[in-house]
Amino acid sequence: MIDVLIVNNEIKAKAFLNEIENKKPLFIATIATTETGKIPGLSAAGANPDFTDFTPPADAELLLLGKCKSIQGVPITPDGIPTPALITTSALQLADIPVLIVNGGVKVKPQVPFIDVNGNPGRDIRTGDSVDNVEEVIERAKVVGEQLAKVSDYLVIGESVPGGTTTALGVLTALGVDANGKVSSTLPANPHNLKVGVVTAGLKAAEDKLGKINGDPIKAISAVGDPMMAALAGLVIGGSKQGPVLMAGGTQMTAVLALINALEPKALCNVAIGTTRWVAKDESSDICGIIKQFCDVPVLAADLDFGPSQYPGLRVYETGLVKEGVGAGGSSIAAMAKTGRAVTKQILLKEIERNYASLMQIK
Amino acid sequence: MIDVLIVNNEIKAKAFLNEIENKKPLFIATIATTETGKIPGLSAAGANPDFTDFTPPADAELLLLGKCKSIQGVPITPDGIPTPALITTSALQLADIPVLIVNGGVKVKPQVPFIDVNGNPGRDIRTGDSVDNVEEVIERAKVVGEQLAKVSDYLVIGESVPGGTTTALGVLTALGVDANGKVSSTLPANPHNLKVGVVTAGLKAAEDKLGKINGDPIKAISAVGDPMMAALAGLVIGGSKQGPVLMAGGTQMTAVLALINALEPKALCNVAIGTTRWVAKDESSDICGIIKQFCDVPVLAADLDFGPSQYPGLRVYETGLVKEGVGAGGSSIAAMAKTGRAVTKQILLKEIERNYASLMQIK
């Protein structure tokens, strides 16, 4: 397909693209917040660390209402760069794709309707005890994922959880996957050493508290994961029984893949990852290098290019800031596929610029 | 259509049936609990008044899981007659219709995923101040109703709220509709005088607290309504922008119609009520007599007949106990319509009997 790059497993990737072409998806944003996301230097998903509590609910509001209610304007990085939910919102609007929010566990509830799966916000993974109620959240998310997959041709499931690549590294490591230096970052200079330090502390604390994790996915999330993972894994497992599922995200999704692989591997037959070119081409991370260690799930990337944008705040995406989030890449792919390629990357950029100017009040 | 009775506005009713035939609906159960439902003698939706807090969450669990978690067995009347959610579950299973739960406001949360629209459980309407947060709940329900209507061909929206015909009488009266002696009851001997007494006390208390209601729908729900109404009205208003909506219930739905008529009357163009024969033929209530006072919305009834059942616990429905609830009638109509009439009332009764025997552990 025009403007979609194939990043992993060409045969399965093409088959997946064929399967979703001209089909009607439902987009689900799975939101969560954690204390991990507030560790200084780890995430750019908020103007400052405490602000990360507001980013996921504000992203949810942007998707459903076209504007935020919990904050003024839209979530931004410390440098003032807008949330990737701007991309997602633009893609969903262009292709008239419906959207629902699943609350994996947030400290600040969004001021829009959301699906409750009984999740709580996450603690700092350095405690080794980061997520409550993992099995129950997975079970409930399975139930709702199956119902939602019945009403749509396929599901596109994204995430908004600040600090999510660190918890991804935690869970991947706990499950025996070598992800050191391979997870992505919202920051152009990926703070790999900081992440490894946090994860090592978390795994050590977890072993003291829970004993060896030994590949147990429930223990891995409970110890060093985040609440998005339990909800998203459940949604994918439930949804993939009924139809294809596009997991819309970057290297965070590889942690969810590893969890699904441990929980219910046959679910992976009906799954692809959809991300952005910025993740696919990122030299400071390696999404395929993670996936290939345990499965052959195809990876697609929306060939987004903000280089031609008239706005410096969007052009900066080309320097590696933000890269992905809130299903930006997957929703772009879904918008292109649903409209029979009428939505191109140029048309999408125009819509993103229009929304950017309006939401950032640029004249 | 076979096994569907036309109860009001034949021309629009037939057009609505044509429109939904062979289409794929989504069923939404809107649940709420109130202290009104615990007034002795008012409702049979629970083995005893305090038990009514558990009936809506248990109904939600039955719909999604095929069994209850919050209680043992299934919700029953004081005489041991099972919840009408048994009919709904059977209809939805037979026609493979997906289901979601919207929490209008419950004291006991269901142990299944649900959509949160920021509602709280209701107080006793005799306080004249029964429901919180009405405008916000309506707004949020509109947003999610619109999204859900986009993914399905049409919505079927039912309710589970014990004591709901009394709050219906309250809101209808507050909005100037003459509903005295016209609302239905889960009990064979409709306690009209008790209901009128409760409503009169509520309206008097409300006037002291809020001033005259004067046809204001927000004030009417806030004063003497229940939390299901705000959520359901919002769902219908949002959903009807995208496609047809079948409001699945008895005389309670006429109160929601009156609210929609006051809030956004054009929504009613895309709406029908779907109920049961037991409500349509009930001599102690008058659904059409209420509706005709303010609109021409068509009314359909599933021609359910439990007379031929082998189980006394089901045959007793023919005496006027229960009659309707949890969208029993509307979901039956939807199951018949979706399957091109392959689901008939006989086939549905067989499935209901099968589920009844299994859930009530009858050998």
Q: What is the pLDDT of residues A246-256, one digit of tens each?
A: 999 999 999 99
Q: Using CA coordinates, name the residue in chain B closest to A234.
A: B113
What is the pLDDT, as a whole number, of residue A263? 98
Task: Assign a CATH topology to domain A4-358.
Answer: Rossmann fold (3.40.50)
**Quick check: B110 pLDDT over 90?**
yes
The answer on pLDDT for A129 being more than 80 is yes
**Residue B46: predicted pLDDT:** 76
Quick one: tokens of B106? 């419950």
Q: How many CB pairs under 8 A join A and B?
A: 67
Residues of A in contact with B117 (CB under 8 A): 113
For A7, the enclosing helix (H) or strand (E) is strand A4-8
Enumerate the residues of chain A whose CB falls inside 8 A of the CB of residue B150.
96, 98
Q: What is the mean pLDDT of residues A40-54?
A: 87
Mean pLDDT, rounded, for B192-221: 95
- Asked whether the beta carbons of A343 and A336 are under 8 A apart, the reply is yes
Taking alpha carbons only, the member of B342, B333, B322, B52 closest to residue B356 is B322
pLDDT at B43: 84
Q: How far is CA A120 from CA A107, B212, B353, in A?
A: 8, 42, 40
What predicted TM-score, i.e. pTM, was given to this entire model?
Answer: 0.96
| Close Cβ partners of B237 (under 8 Å, ≥ 6 residues apart) | B138, B141, B142, B145, B260, B263, B264, B267
Of A112, A113, A151, the CB nearest to B152: A151
Angle at A79 between CA A75 and CA A82, to 5 degrees: 30
Determine, for residues A144 and B100 on separate chains, whether the beta-carbon distance falls below 8 Å: yes
Give the per-residue pLDDT at B44: 82
Confidence of residue B79 (pLDDT cuts 50, 70, 90): confident
CB contact residues (below 8 A), chain A span 83-112, against chain B: 96, 98-100, 103, 109, 111-112
Q: What is the DSSP string of A67-103?
A: S-SSSSS--B-TT-PBPTHHHHHHHHHHHT--EEEEE
Does the beta carbon of B65 lie under 8 angstroms from any beta carbon of chain A? yes
Q: Give me the phi and psi of A171, to 5 degrees please.
A: -70, -40
The yes-or-no verdict on residue A201 having pLDDT over 90 is yes
Q: What is the pLDDT of residue B361?
A: 83
B-contacting residues of A 110-149, CB under 8 Å?
111-118, 140-141, 143-144, 147-148
Instruction: Report the relative pairing of strands B114-116 and A114-116 from DSSP bridges.
Output: antiparallel
Largest CA distance in chain A: 57
In tens, the pLDDT along A295-351 reads: 999 999 999 999 999 999 999 999 999 999 999 999 999 999 999 989 999 999 999
CB contact under 8 A, A100 and B147: yes
Distance from CA of A89 to the nearest CA of B (A): 14
Residue B256 identity: V
Q: Is the pLDDT of residue A1 over 70?
A: no
> pLDDT tens for residues B240-270?
999 999 999 999 999 999 999 999 999 999 9
Mean pLDDT of B218-245: 98
B152, A148: Cβ pair inside 8 Å? Answer: no
Residue A188: predicted pLDDT: 85
Residues of chain B in contact with residue A141, where contact means CB-CB under 8 angstroms, are: 113
Domain ranges of chain A: 4-358
Q: What is the mean pLDDT of chain A?
A: 96
Which residues 7-36 on chain A approach chain B with CB closer than 8 angstroms?
24, 26
* Owner of token pair 């006051």: B262
A230 contact residues in B (CB cutoff 8 A): none
Burial letters B298-316, b for 16+ CB under 10 A, else e: bbbbbbbbbeebeeebbeb
Closest CA to A288 of A16, A12, A7: A7
Please give the DSSP secondary-structure letter assigned to residue A265: G
> What is the mean predicted confidence (pLDDT) over B215-240?
98
pLDDT range class, residue A363, cuts 50, 70, 90: low
A4-8 vs A299-302, strand pairing mode = antiparallel
Query: In whole angstroms, what is the distance from residue B278 CA to residue B35 CA?
Result: 27
- Residue B47's pLDDT is 78
List the beta strands (DSSP E) in A113-233.
114-116, 154-160
Q: How far apart are alpha carbons A128 and A220 in whole angstroms?
A: 9
The pLDDT of residue B59 is above 90: yes
CA distance B316 to chain A (A): 33
Chain A residues touching residue B141 (CB < 8 angstroms) = 113
The arithmetic mean of pLDDT across residues B114-126, rounded, is: 98
For A119, nearest residue in chain B (alpha carbons): B113
- Check: CB of residue A56 under 8 Å from CB of residue A33: yes
| Nearest C-alpha in A relative to B234 | A113
Q: Does A64 touch chain B (CB under 8 A)?
A: yes
The C-alpha angle with vertex B119 and arms to A59 and B77, in degrees rounded to 5, equals: 135
Give the closest residue to B288 by CA, choosing from B232, B328, B297: B297
Strands B4-8 and B114-116: unpaired
Residues of B with Cβ-Cβ distance to A152 under 8 angstroms: 151
Chain B residue numbers touching A26 (CB-CB < 8 A): 151
Question: Which of the four pLDDT bands, split at 50, 70 and 90, describes residue B319?
Answer: very high
Cβ contact (<8 Å) for A144 and B113?
yes
**Rounded to a whole number, what is the distance in angstroms from the first to the last CA of chain B?**
35
Taking the Cβ of residue A150 and every Cβ of chain B, the question of whether any pair is shorter than 8 Å is answered with yes
**Chain A residue numbers touching B96 (CB-CB < 8 A):** 150
Binned at pLDDT 50, 70 and 90, residue B315 comes out as very high
CATH C-level class of B4-357: alpha beta
CB contact under 8 A, B141 and A113: yes
Name the minimum distance, in Å, from the CA of B150 to any CA of chain A.
6
What is the pLDDT confidence band of residue B1, given thresholds at 50, 70 and 90?
low
- A-chain CB neighbours of B118 within 8 Å are 111, 113
Q: What pairing do the DSSP bridges indicate for beta strands A271-276 and A299-302? A: parallel
Print burial letters for A142-162: b (CB count within 10 Å at least 16), e (below 16). Answer: bbbbbbbbbbbbbbbbbbbbb
Distance (Å, whole) CA A284 – CA A298: 21
- Please state the rounded mean pLDDT for residues A261-288: 97
Mean pLDDT of chain B: 96
B113 with A141: Cβ contact below 8 A: yes
